[in-house]
Amino acid sequence: MYIAVVDQEGAALLGESRQAVRVLLVSGSTRGSSTNTAALRTAVLAAPDEVEAVLYEGLADLPAFTPDEDPGHPHPAVRVLRERITAADAVVFSTPEYAGALPGSFKNLLDWTVGGGELNRKPVAWINVAAPGRGDAAYAELAKVLGYVDAVIVDECCVRLPVARDAVGADGSVADAEFRARLTDVLGTLALHARQSPAEVPATLRR
């Protein structure tokens, strides 16, 4: 919990360094038992004190992308997506690979961010939970899309942390201590990058 410290005159002394860095976690899978979602759910639990990690859960609610969208009246699910990304200081993705590419539903999510600029100059990273040698095509495509929208890919936070299905517990998270420690390190490092290079987002959408 982050509490403002106030002096005797009532002036808030809470500086930017004391504010939590908001990291939005986005899974590219709609599968209920997805290991990608499990990894991100675990990241919420493993986040260091200086990070407020939030899992985005609206992927299946998004309509098919259309360039004819009325900017003044976006679909409610699209509006929520854009608001969540805009309010975040950084974004972490984790996606499976389908047929050698990104899943259609996840690519659809990314398409909804192209015109609005929500990811512009925002630090991003990904967690590849596939076994070595798998999932690379999906992340190569993800990197291409993120480059197109001018997101800042933090290479040192883009990691492969394989997750076996039997490693996911009944609560939908991974209990392995080493796995959680790696996630803590990734989020901590990403937070440092976010503090050094804050994304250009409207102040009205940041607390």
CATH number, position 99: 3.40.50.360
The pLDDT value given to residue 178: 98
Burial (Cβ within 10 Å: 0-12, 13-18, ≥19) of residue 29: buried
Q: What is the mean pLDDT of residues 80-88?
A: 97
Work out how many domains the chain is built from and give that number: 1
Q: What one-letter code names the amino acid at 53? A: A
Pair 125, 95: CB distance under 8 Å: no
Please provide the DSSP assignment of 111-131 as one string: HHHHTTTTTTT-EEEEEE-SP
Rounded to the nearest angstrom, the gap between the alpha carbon of residue 53 and the centroid of all alpha carbons in its chain is 8
Pair 146, 120: CB distance under 8 Å: no
The pLDDT value given to residue 68: 87
Tokens for 156, please give them: 């040192």
Share of the chain above pLDDT 70, in %: 86
Burial (Cβ within 10 Å: 0-12, 13-18, ≥19) of residue 28: buried
Query: Considering the domain boundaries, does residue 99 fall inside one?
Result: yes
DSSP state of 107: H
The pTM for the full model equals 0.86
Sorted by sequence, the CB contacts under 8 Å of residue 72 that are 6+ apart come out as none
Residue 193 has pLDDT above 60, yes or no: yes
Q: Which residue would you say has higher pLDDT here, 9 or 122? A: 122
Q: What is the mean pLDDT of residues 8-27?
A: 67
Q: How far apart are CA 153 and CA 165, in angstroms?
A: 28
Q: What is the mean pLDDT of residues 5-11?
A: 37
Query: Considering the domain boundaries, does residue 6 fall inside one?
Result: no
The pLDDT value given to residue 6: 35
Query: Considering the domain boundaries, does residue 29 fall inside one?
Result: yes
Pair 174, 163: CB distance under 8 Å: yes
Q: Lowest-pLDDT range, 27-31, 48-52, 72-76?
A: 72-76
Query: Considering the domain boundaries, does residue 5 fall inside one?
Result: no
Query: Considering the domain boundaries, does residue 101 fall inside one?
Result: yes
Going by pLDDT thresholds of 50, 70 and 90, the confidence category of residue 18 is: low
Tokens for 127, please give them: 């967690």
Query: Considering the domain boundaries, does residue 66 fall inside one?
Result: yes
Query: Considering the domain boundaries, does residue 12 fall inside one?
Result: no
Containing structural domain, residue 128: 21-199
Query: Considering the domain boundaries, does residue 207 fall inside one?
Result: no
The pLDDT value given to residue 10: 38
Q: How far apart are CA 31 and CA 142, in angstroms?
A: 19
Q: What is the mean pLDDT of the chain?
A: 88
Long-range contacts from 60-65, C-beta under 8 angstroms, 24+ separation: 60/30, 60/105, 62/105, 62/108, 62/109, 62/112, 64/108, 65/108, 65/111, 65/112
Q: What is the mean pLDDT of residues 28-51?
A: 97
C-alpha pair distances (Å), 162 with each of 85, 118, 178: 26, 29, 12
Residue 9 has pLDDT above 60, yes or no: no
Residue 134 has pLDDT above 80, yes or no: yes
Backbone angles phi, psi at 19, to 5 degrees: -85, 140
Residue 3 has pLDDT above 50, yes or no: no
Tokens for 20, please give them: 């939590």
Residue 155 has pLDDT above 60, yes or no: yes
